[in-house]
Amino acid sequence: MPPYDLMKTLSDDYTGLPLTRERSTSANPAAPALPTINSRATAEAVWLDRGCWSILADAASTGGSFSVFEAELPQGLGEAPRIHDGTDKAYYVLDGAMEVLADDEVLSLRKGSFAFVPRGSVHAVRVTSGTARFLNIHTAPGYERVIRAAGTRAETPGLPPPDWRPDGASRKRPIRRAARAPSPGWDREARVRAAANGPRRP
């Protein structure tokens, strides 16, 4: 993986948001896990920053093993740059199109595309179509706590109505922001070469 400082610079260029490092809980072998079935229609849904996150599986339902979300987001929204030390992540696009920044690569995903982001990698997500629905899979649970704390329980599955406004908790703890496109001078290979060669000398 490229150096952390380089990854931070790439993330700043990609979204203009600070890079964060997050930790997830580990699996709990003693926690009971029972066969379950869930769907977007029956899952707990949370409205967050004009998007909707349906919690298909969490620590309680998987015995502390993993968590799965179905996200529906409008164009421009996604996930701010972050690093997960304790969990791998995967994305599967159900509808629409999105970009995933993974280390020093930007991956373009469309309906039916799958992307895997190993733990320790800097990553960010941005929806590029009008709306997009995708599965967000964490190999360790815990992210559901962030979603619940920062969002508002949805009245119905799907995007909130246009006149919906987040409650006070959501305004204080936003975790989704509209991301800007890479700047015209954003050259990943040049930055990688520069980092490998060290700082320029006059």
Residue range 111-157, pLDDT digits in tens: 999 999 999 998 999 999 999 999 999 999 888 999 999 999 998 89
* Residue 62 to residues 144, 162, 184, Cα–Cα distance (Å): 12, 34, 44
- The verdict on domain 4-26+39-159+171-180 having CATH code 2.60.120.10 is yes
Please list the helix, strand and coil fractions of the chain in percent, rounded to the nearest 5, in that order: 20, 35, 45
Question: pTM for the whole thing?
Answer: 0.70
What's the pLDDT score for residue 77? 93
Please report, for the chain, the start and end positions of each structural domain, with discontinuous segments joined by +.
4-26+39-159+171-180
Q: What percent of the chain has pLDDT over 90?
A: 46
**Structural contact between residues 154 and 80, judged by C-beta atoms closer than 8 angstroms:** no
What's the pLDDT score for residue 21? 57
Per-residue pLDDT tens digits for 51-73 = 999 999 999 999 889 999 999 99
Q: Which range among 78-82, 143-147, 172-176 shows the weakest confidence by mean pLDDT?
A: 172-176
Q: Tell the residue number behind the tokens 């610079």, with chain if given.
A: 9
What's the pLDDT score for residue 79? 87
* Rounded CA separation 92/96 (Å): 11
Question: Residue 176, Cα to own-chain centre: how many angstroms?
Answer: 9
